[in-house]
Amino acid sequence: MSTLAQQNVANVDDFRTIETNTINHTEDKLGRFYTISNEARKDLFTYGGIPKSYEKQTKTFREACLMVRQPAVEIIQHIKNTNFERPANRFVLYGKNGTGKSLALAHLIHFCYQQEFVIVHVKWVPDWFKKPKETSNSTTNEGCIDLPIDAASWLLHFKTQNAKILAKLNLKTTRDYVWTKRETTPADSSLFELIDHGINRVKFACDTIAALTAELKHHANSGNCKVMVAVDGYNAFFHPYTRILGDNKVKMTPDKITLTKPFLDLTMPDWKNGVCVLIVDKLTLKSDEEPEASELPLFLLGRTGFEHIDPFIPIRTDDYNAKEYESCINYYLDRKWIQNCESGFDKELEFLSGKNPFRLMELCKSL
């Protein structure tokens, strides 16, 4: 790394790969950045899915690049070798804060998009439980709370991510859905009709999500499609309580929020032709709990959550290794993001960041 200051920037092939087809992202591509096309970025991440700080950086650089790292490559290899006639495999990404769990998930979402999976993606579960846009009493689940605006926003996100594959597959509903005396979604309707109903009639958005996830499980079991379930902050579903207050001003538990059940059902091992990639994260906890918290799945999920998804394959994310750190510095130099290249600047950044991806990005961000 000491030569970086003298070279100013390394050969572009040292830190970039022109391979944009993620199925070819194998160990020989580790530590290199690849570019997500504008079309894929628009389809997948228009309504979020990439951390806001990283999204801001991609706008500055005028390109969306992700580093090919071991956790994503390992899961891609597992998916390529999967027997989809067996129950859906569950993968759990875990690790210290800032080590790239969410970006690894974004890489895997892009992989499944290219492999024509239907993607069921929850950007950040704690947003629903800590700062919902609106709450209302559920009319179909007594004692439970609906989050209608959040549910409608999720349906729009789902529709945007899957518009092309759903149009190609032309999946239909398998039964009638009666919303009111005058409103129904009859059997053999397009899934687009079901989704649009939830978006346009926000009151029924939560029930629409429950119907949609049940239909997707049915179609996956019937071999009509493959489904990827991608959930960031999954352990929030198993926290003791949320910040949402019920009628008696008592904090509601996650199981009393109607959005919880559909996504827990999707992570059960009772369906095939699918894969689940879940992130457990200390940031879902209260800030005063975080310093003592372990990043291990058993601690974050608790016994109930751990048993719910057991057996699963744990995949740890770590700080950059030497090659990844060098690639990141070279990428910043290439983008002219680092301009003060005095001797030893790279060693100073390495010391200050501890090679943690997020801390390095924060140290290099604009003032």
Q: Are residues 215 and 335 in the same domain?
A: no
Residue 306 vs residues 228, 261, 299: alpha-carbon distances, Å: 20, 16, 9
Q: Are residues 273 and 331 in the same domain?
A: no
Peptide bond into 297 cis (omega under 30): no
Q: Are residues 208 and 243 in the same domain?
A: yes
Q: Are residues 120 and 250 in the same domain?
A: yes
Q: Are residues 244 and 355 in the same domain?
A: no
pLDDT digit of tens for each residue in the chain (367 aa)? Answer: 444 544 444 577 789 999 999 999 999 999 999 999 999 999 999 999 999 989 998 999 999 999 999 999 999 999 999 999 999 999 999 999 999 999 999 999 999 999 999 999 999 999 999 999 999 999 999 999 999 999 999 999 999 999 999 999 999 999 999 999 999 999 999 999 999 999 999 999 999 999 999 999 999 999 999 999 999 999 999 999 999 998 888 999 999 999 999 999 999 999 999 999 999 999 987 654 455 678 999 999 999 999 999 999 999 999 999 999 999 999 999 998 888 777 788 899 999 999 999 999 999 887 6
Residue 92 vs residues 84, 267, 298, 317, 321: alpha-carbon distances, Å: 18, 11, 11, 10, 21
Could you report the per-residue pLDDT of 118-132, keeping only the tens digit for each? 999 999 999 999 999
| Residue 343 within any structural domain of the chain | yes
Q: Are residues 192 and 274 in the same domain?
A: yes
Q: Are residues 155 and 285 in the same domain?
A: yes
Q: Are residues 32 and 137 in the same domain?
A: no
Phi-psi region of 69 (alpha: psi -120 to 50; beta: other; left: phi over 0): beta
Q: Are residues 331 and 205 in the same domain?
A: no
Q: Are residues 342 and 308 in the same domain?
A: no
Structure pTM?
Answer: 0.94
The amino acid present at 33, given as its one-letter code, is: F
Number of domains in the chain: 2
Q: Are residues 55 and 90 in the same domain?
A: no
**Residues 293 and 301 sit within 8 Å (Cβ to Cβ):** no
Domain that holds residue 205: 82-317
Q: State how far Cα 190 lies from the chain centre.
A: 26
